[in-house]
Amino acid sequence: MTIRHLIWIAGGGLVARAALAVAFPVLPDEAYYWVWAHHLAWSYPDHPPMIAYLIALTTWGENGSFWVRLSPLVLGAATTYTLYLVGRDMFDEKAGIIAAALFQVVPILWLGGTAALPDAPLYLAWVATLRFVWQATHGQSRRGVAAGLTMGLGLLSKLYMAFLGVGLVCFVLLDARPGFRRKELFWGVLIAGLAFLPVIIWNLIHDWAGVHFFLYERPRWGHGLAGLRGLLSPHLEFVLLLFPAFVWALWAAWRRRGDERFRYLLWTTLPAIAFTVLTAFVGIGRGAWLGPVYLELAIILGALWNRGVAALAWGNAALTAVFIARAVIPGLPPPPIPIALHGWDQAAARVEAEVAAFGPGTEVITDNYEIASELSYHSGGILPVLLVPRPAWALVWPPLDRFTGSKGVAVTYGPLKWSHCFSGAQAVPLTAENAGNVLTLLYVYRLTDLSVRRCLCDQCCPYCPYGITR
């Protein structure tokens, strides 16, 4: 394999992901981060701010799906190349090229190079830090400073980057060559800490809103085995046919832990795996968190390549090609998507009409961040959307108590939970269609007064729009 193969792999993957970026409307989470990009801050309750600034940079004059996703597309190409460099430096050129190729055919990885999510900058920072620390412990000690910078950028992207830091510190202190354990480690940690300082300051100012969100406000999928099932069940979709190959790669690396290269990859994946599994038992851990782990396992598969893994990889490539073809070629049946993407533009137009009909000073109120984000995005930020009741959301959307006495249009996925709190009447259901299929069903209510009427009723709690719970 030569560098020509890498160019074809990286270029082909970029073109395919760009086609998907144009074909699909923005995801609800992407619309959410688009809202962030119009309320720039040092951090946010859910994540650090990197994705918001990237979206703001590329949507300066345009808000189409391609422009929202332009920075992840560029970062995905950079991640492909950096993944190749890590595999080449640690093993050989073949391992690097195979790892780069796997990035294009594993959904959880190529999605990180397509969608405007915090994972896009996280992936690049993860593999870049991995490479710099490996170089710093093998004769290029000055790369420790570069590792500190990329670690800091990763922490500004997603806090999950901290678990790579845990693994790297353990490797450096317990396993790496003694020459790297002092000055370079100190400077790397200092630079990473300085880069992350704005997030810490923001949390101090906002009463540790990020910590509070993680512990108390993040949606949970159940406890115990139910949480573990919620963690494991999506992985067949995340990695398709290659799932058993990735499990085997982790086991094979453990069996070869006498080799420093495999030991290094174990040190830098096991903290992330352990945290994700443990938090799954309380309903917090998500399967998508393991994306960076799959990046490292792709390197291991590149190093241990065999016919069985190759067959599974080619199967993944075929499934990926079919998915892309169904997404971009008119006339083919659309690919199955587990969430509603289409119809939000129609929903936003309908809600705008309701607001106009209800008169000046009418606010849009919803209890779901997906609805709030998609309506904000598809109206170009024109709709005055309020999101309740979680307190942390008031740091992005204005709090409801500023609008006492105003009129409102409520948009929900079902019956209005606040029917005993506000004066209002139900309007007809709002259905948005795409190619004849109903994909989104919303309900619209006109609220004559956003002033609270009765807060302690059994019908509303714990959904009180003012955050009052029993």
Band of pLDDT at residue 75, cut at 50, 70 and 90: very high
Mean pLDDT of 24-31: 91
CA 231-34-416 angle, 5° bins: 70
**Distance of CA 209 to CAs 44, 157, 237, 388, Å?**
8, 17, 32, 16
Is residue 389 reached through a cis peptide bond, with omega within 30 degrees of 0 on the bond before it? yes
Indicate the burial class of 141 (C-beta count within 10 angstroms; 0-12, 13-18, 19 or more). Answer: middle
Q: Write down the pTM of the prediction.
A: 0.91
Q: Give the separation between CA 28 and CA 30, rounded to whole angstroms.
A: 5
Q: Give the separation between CA 408 and CA 422, rounded to whole angstroms.
A: 10
- Can you give the pLDDT at residue 89? 95
Report yes or no: 253 and 300 within 8 Å, Cβ to Cβ. yes
Side chain identity, residue 326:
R
pLDDT over threshold 80, residue 399: no
Helix 119-136, helix 291-303: angle, nearest 10: 50
pLDDT digits (tens, 9 = 90+) for 362-397: 888 888 888 899 999 999 888 888 887 666 666 788
Closest CA to 398 of 382, 380, 386: 386
pLDDT over threshold 80, residue 90: yes
pLDDT digits (tens, 9 = 90+) for 454-469: 555 555 555 566 655 5
Q: Per-domain residue ranges for the chain?
A: 3-328, 344-449
Q: What is the DSSP letter of 334?
A: P
